[in-house]
Amino acid sequence: MSDTATPNRTTPRDLRLALIISDSAQAQDRADELRSAYGWVEPEDADIYVVVGGDGFMLHVLHEMLDAGISKPCYGINLGTVGFLMNGLHGEVSIADRITRARHVPFRPLSMHATTQSGEKFRYYAINEVSLLRETRQTAKLEIRINGRVRMGELAGDGILLATPVGSTAYNLSANGPILPLGCNMLALTPISPFRPRRWKGAILPESAEVEFRIREPGKRPVAAVADQKEVRDVSTVRISASRERELTLLFDPGFTLEERIFAEQFQV
């Protein structure tokens, strides 16, 4: 998957766009101006969602789409802080013209299946990463299996995460994990403050891999699993794989694509 694909050929007058605005003060200050800038339609009638806010709000909208089985492309306008998943607010070019020229970036979220110590089962999607984190002062101890084979009998530390290329510049990068280029079809497996083995820096896995974590001594060393913002506490096993049935698409202005931003992150000092 690459964000250098041919731009959308739909003409501006053909676009059915829905406007979805964050309730943040910054976004609401521009709400009336944005509502009058185009002939918006209701979300259920739209071909494309225009999402106004920050990265957190974009993730919220994408998760709502996943839960509802919706796969419409999203074009973000940044009125938040970082705006890694968003485009700038440029009033000199109409929103329809910008979207017509935008590059499409398709990607697959992670699907997390978590089972708790009491036997409850949960399934959540993650666009950035799935992280396993110790719940108490006790070090977490995890067994790591990949495609059914034990690859590490025991990792002791604060936890571990599995990140997509989209999420590789988020929590994964803060945990000293690698930045993954879009279209690489890889995932980053990154330990969080590992105590044993100390020198293990993680691994890069093919997107086709199924990763399973089994919690060792879960009663004494409880662990929580977090799929983006969704948390499951006191897990006993967590199984993660790239979703086969869900695909999302973000739209980016030419020259300011997500791929370009990922390149830029790797040269910041």
- Would you say 174 is a known binding-site residue? yes
**Is 158 annotated to bind ligand?**
yes
Query: Per the annotation, does 61 bind a ligand?
Result: no
Q: Is 169 annotated as a binding residue?
A: yes
The answer to whether residue 32 is catalytic is no
**205 in a labelled binding site:** no
Query: Known binder of ligand: residue 126?
Result: no
The verdict on whether residue 4 carries a ligand-binding annotation is no
**82 in a known ligand binding site:** no
Q: Is 128 annotated as a binding residue?
A: yes
Closest CA to 206 of 248, 165, 245: 165
Q: Is 139 annotated as a binding residue?
A: no
DSSP string, 117-183: TTS-EEEEEESSEEEEEESSSSPEEEEEEETTEEEEEEEEEEEEEEE-TTTTTTHHHHTTPPP--TT
The reply to whether 45 sits in an annotated binding site is: no
Query: Sign of the C-alpha dihedral, residues 142, 147, 152, 158?
Result: negative
- Alpha-carbon gap, residue 213 to 17, rounded angstroms: 42
One of 3, 55, 97, 234 is an active-site residue; which one? 55
The answer to whether 56 is annotated as binding is yes
24 is in an annotated binding site: no
Binding-site sequence positions: 55-56, 60, 128-129, 158, 166, 169-174
Binding-site sequence positions for NAD(+): 55-56, 60, 128-129, 158, 166, 169-174
- Which residues are part of the catalytic machinery? 55
